Every structure is written in structure tokens, then in C-alpha cells.
Amino acid sequence: MLDANLKTQLKAYLEMISQPVELVASADDGAASREMMALLEEIAGLSDRIALRRAADVRTPSFAINRAGTEIGVRFAGLPMGHEFNSLVLALLQVGGHPSKTAQDLIAQVRGLDGDYSFETYFSLSCQNCPDVVQALNLMSVLNPRIRHVAIDGALFQDEVERRKVMAVPSVFLNGEPFAQGRMGLEEIVARLDTGAAVREAEKIAAKAPYDVLVVGGGPAGAAAAIYAARKGIRTGVAAERFGGQVLDTMGIENFISVAHTEGPKLAAAMEAHVRDYGVDIMNMQTASKLVPAPSPGGLAEVHLASGAVLRSKTVILTTGARWRQMGVPGEAEYRNKGVAYCPHCDGPLFKGKRVAVIGGGNSGVEAAIDLAGIVAHVTLIEFDAQLRADAVLQRKLASLPNVTVIVSAQTTDVTGDGEKVTGLSYRDRTSGTTHTVALEGIFVQIGLVPNTEWLKGAVALSPRGEIEVDQRGETSAKGVFAAGDATTTPYKQIVIAMGEGSKAALSAFDHLIRLAPAGEEAEAEAVAA
């Protein structure tokens, strides 16, 4: 199962295990079970602190990772390879007594949770969002014996997926009931269980002293802005809904200069680590609701958060990025995560052998159709324009696939379903005006992005498309407020461009501070006195 290089690396990691670990496997004679047993035997052979035995479980193939003689353990139903291999390695280490690098206050919060929690997470091996959820819940199971977690490969348990109507991953069930869908970090999960956490965090944030530079948003532009600001030795903070932003939803990245290939979550983790190296105050899970620019030059701007807390800063850099654009047709919202999806890499395996549509003929849409064609029974690609807009090499690949139908000059008009899941869609032929229906089980929407700027209306100038208008220095219409990345009018929404623009915005903010330093210090003194 593991090549020689991976074995060597894994053996080195397993030397960190300090407590005896027991692998308890539930297997039959099937191919998946044989693969699982081969993997477990290899792992057990790499450390004398790991033992392997067999015992039946309600799910086969599956295996538990238990700390010998204790109630501490986690379970995987399936073969955790692909994106989930790291989850397997971390589970082995953490169950084996190796301490987590998670912040101590968060660890204490998990240990203090009062109640019995049984989690089940459905994942797919191609989902880049799933490991965050799996690893967070596994860690919680290790820290608190009243928390249990099973990570389930949906592709191997199709009957179970159908019965529980799982149509998007990650999907989390708590004590048998739906709990959450989509990417979630440890902080977010704990906040949902600890009802007083949000209030305590808001109080903590409200008490923070004013910043020199406050970055709103934690994507590539925000990370670069924070690093460049902190390098100047000035007080820097980042308030973000989720650090990494849209990058977290990106599968493969092959145009990040000097890095031939990486994945979105890996890049996001590296960005966050780099920002923390500079001592930047990162405030995660914070949604900005209002911006109040400084009332006078050198004064303090205010960023109001959805929690009720207010952050103050001499300068603000807006890097709120963008989100998937929705079709805006009847049925789309009703059937979101019930057949309507936005991440083909994550949810594609759940539609194995079924009929799906891809909406959008740009690079993202055509790439999605190509990937899905290898999994599903048939793909219908629907493009509004008279021709596809994807690169020629992608179009040639698409045309070579026998199970793909391309429909151009088509406007999707509605999504239909049976009340529980998608059953089809309707589109209007823009040439003839006739309406057609397509029977299918899944719809993947790939029609671009929309900026996260609704909360900025009236505070800074926005373009007709809702993008923040910036000049060549990254400055907005409000003095002391700068912006960068996908939320701005800067053309070409690319990671490297966002990073460059974020760096430029930070340098511009620093230049602004230098020129207004005396007034800024006076404003801060007044705020503290008040």
C-alpha cells in the first residue's frame, strides 16, 4: 500500500508515539477490506507500540485506533488515503499520546464540554475540505472521552449515504441527527457546542487596543498585507471568517510561481503559519458587518463585527475576497447540498454512476465536466454564451469524452426536485426561445465569483459589480482605508496577484501612517481616555 519513501517518513512520525496503540479492524473478504488490512499491517509493522487485532463492527471495512487500556480512540470506516492520509497519521500520533499544537485555551474548552457527543462524518477521498473536519473531530475525541467520532468514506457506504440523504461532503451527524455540512475548523465546531463561547470571544475582542493596521479578511491578499505590515514593526490585526478564504476551496494549484503543485488547504495553512510567525493578532470566525471610516485625518476607523464587538484601527485593509456566484433561479436554494453543489472535487464521488449537469463554460466549468466524466454516468455542460470560454486545450479534452453533452446559448431557468433531492433542471434555448428539461441527479454550478462587499455599501465606493474601487496604491475612496484581492476592481483574480496587491496595500498603509503619525497618536490617546 505504501511506497518505500512514504514508509520511511511514516516510521519517523510513529517514533513520536509514547502510549501503546491498538488497531482494531473489522474486515471481510472484499477488495476494500483486503486493502485496509494490508495498510494496517504495514502500519503495525513500523512501530512496536502499535498492535493489530480484528473485531466485528457495524461497518465493514472499518478500523478503530485506540489507546490501549483507555476509552480514547477514533474510527475510520473505509480506507483513509488521498486527502485523508494526513488525518490517519495525526490520529495515530494523537491517540498515541503526542500532544497537539492547538492553542491551550481551545484544548481546555474541548475538555470542558459537558455532554455525550457521538459524531459521524461522511467524506470523500478527493475532498480537500473534509480533512479539517475529520481532524478536528478526531482531536476532540482524543481530548474528551465523552466525545466519539467515526469518519466514513461515502463512496464505500453508498447504501448508508442514500438512506441518510448525504449529497455533499463533509456531512456531519451528531447523535444520529444532521449537525453540519461543509468545511469547519475546530474553533467553529466547539463554538457550536459551547453556547457561551461567542459571547466570551466578543467581549475579549471588544477589549482590544486600537491597531495600526487592521486587515479584514484572511485570504492570500490578507495574509500578504498582514505580513508586510507586521514587518514594519507596527501593531497588526487580522479579522477573518476563515483564514485562507477561497483558497481553501481550491483543489490543485499549479501556477503559484516556484511551486510546481500544491493544494489550497496546504497553501492556506502555510500562509497562516507565516502570519503567526510575525506575532499578528489573528481573530478567526469573525464576520464584519459595518465599516466606519475615521472621522478626520489621523483618527480611528471602526470595523463592527456581527458578534457586536467593535475593532478600531488607524488604517484598515479590506481583503474580504469573493464567493461562488449562484444561478439565482427557483429551486437552487431549496436543493443546495441536496443535489446542487459548487465543489466538483468534494462532492463528485457521491454522484458515481449518476447523471449530472455543470453550469458554466469557462475554465472552471470545463475542468469540472472533465473530472466528473470519469466518475458519473453522464455530464451535461450548459453554457449561457454561444460558445465555450475555456482554454482550447480543455475544450479539446472535453470534446473527446463520450459521456459529455455540451449545450450552448442556454439559460438555466429552474431546478426541479421531489422535495428531498434534485431530479432535473430546465433551460431556455436563447436562439429559438424554446424550453427544455434535463433529467439528472446533480448540478454543479461553476459561473464565477461575487465579491463579499455588501457590508461596505455607503462606506467606500463600489463598482456596478460590487467590487471595491481602488487606485494604483490600493487606496479606496475613504482616507486610511485600503483594499486588495478579489473584492477589488483589480483585474485578473489570481492568487499571486492578490498577494502582490495585499503587499502593496500594506506598504501604502504604512506610508499613510508615517505621514499622519502625530495625528494618529493623538486620536489613539483620546480613544483610550474615553
The string of pLDDT tens digits covering residues 461-483 is: 999 999 999 999 999 999 999 99
Q: Domains of the chain by range and CATH? A: 4-195 (3.40.30.80), 200-323+450-529 (3.50.50.60), 340-447 (3.50.50.60)
Q: 59-98 burial, b if ≥16 CB within 10 A, otherwise e? A: bbbbbbbbbeeeebbbbbbbbbebbbbebbbbbbbbbbbb
Give CA angle at 146 (18, 164), nearest 5°.
110
Predicted local confidence at residue 198, as pLDDT: 81
368-371's contacts with Cβ under 8 Å and 24+ in sequence apart are: 368/344, 368/444, 368/446, 369/398, 369/401, 369/404, 370/394, 370/397, 370/398, 370/401, 371/344, 371/345
Per-residue pLDDT band for 510 (boundaries 50, 70, 90) equals: very high
Whether residue 25 contacts residue 54, with contact meaning beta carbons closer than 8 Å, is answered with: yes
* Phi/psi at 139 (5° precision): -60, -40
pTM for the complete prediction?
A: 0.81
- pLDDT attached to residue 520: 43
> How far apart are alpha carbons 495 and 484 in whole angstroms?
11
- % of residues, the chain, pLDDT over 90: 87
Q: How confident is the model at residue 524 (pLDDT cuts 50, 70, 90)?
A: low
Using CA atoms, how far apart are residues 437 and 419, in angstroms rounded to an integer? 18
Query: How many C-beta neighbours within 10 Å does residue 516 have?
Result: 20
Determine which of 67-81, 333-347, 485-499 has the lowest per-residue pLDDT on average. Answer: 333-347
What grid cell was written down for 428?
A: 431556455
Nearest to 442 by CA among 332, 521, 516, 524: 332
Q: What is the pLDDT of residues 92-108, one digit of tens each?
A: 999 999 999 998 999 99
> What grid cell was written down for 242?
476563515
The DSSP bridge pattern shows strands 236-239 and 252-253 to be unpaired
CA–CA separation, 357 vs 376, rounded Å?
10
- Check residue 343 and give its pLDDT: 87
The answer, yes or no, to whether residue 205 has pLDDT greater than 50, is yes
> In the structure, what pLDDT confidence band is assigned to residue 200 with cuts at 50, 70 and 90?
confident
> Please, are residues 440 and 415 in contact by the beta-carbon 8 Å criterion?
no
Model pLDDT for residues 132-188, shown as the tens digit of each residue: 999 999 999 999 999 999 999 999 999 999 999 999 999 999 999 999 998 899 999
pLDDT at 494 > cutoff 50:
yes
- Given this model, what pLDDT does residue 128 score? 86
Distances (CA, A) of 45 to 1, 141, 163: 13, 25, 38
> How far apart are the C-alpha atoms of 442 and 67, rounded to whole Å?
41
- Distances from the Cα of 400 to the Cαs of 74, 219, 364, 373, 394, in angstroms? 44, 36, 18, 11, 10
Closest CA to 488 of 458, 440, 449: 449
pLDDT at 298 (0 to 100): 85
Single out the residue of 464, 469, 505 nearest to residue 484, CA to CA.
505
φ/ψ (deg, to 5) at 246: -60, -25
Measure the CA–CA gap between 277 and 231, rounded to whole angstroms: 10
Q: Is the pLDDT of residue 68 over 70?
A: yes
Q: Is 18 helix (H, G, I), strand (E, B) or coil?
A: coil
Long-range contacts: 516-519, Cβ < 8 Å, 24+? 516/297, 516/298, 516/314, 516/480, 518/298, 519/296, 519/297, 519/298, 519/299
Determine the distance from the C-alpha atom of residue 77 to the mean position of all C-alpha atoms in its chain, rounded to a whole number.
23
Which of 299, 300, 359 lies closest to 519 in space, CA to CA?
A: 299
CA–CA distances in Å: residue 417 to residues 13, 163, 211, 435, 442 = 48, 17, 50, 17, 10
Phi, psi for residue 40 in degrees, rounded to 5: -65, -40
Residue type at 329 in one-letter notation: V
Share of the chain above pLDDT 70, in %: 97
Exposed, middle or buried: residue 194 (CB in 10 Å: 0-12, 13-18, 19+)? Answer: middle
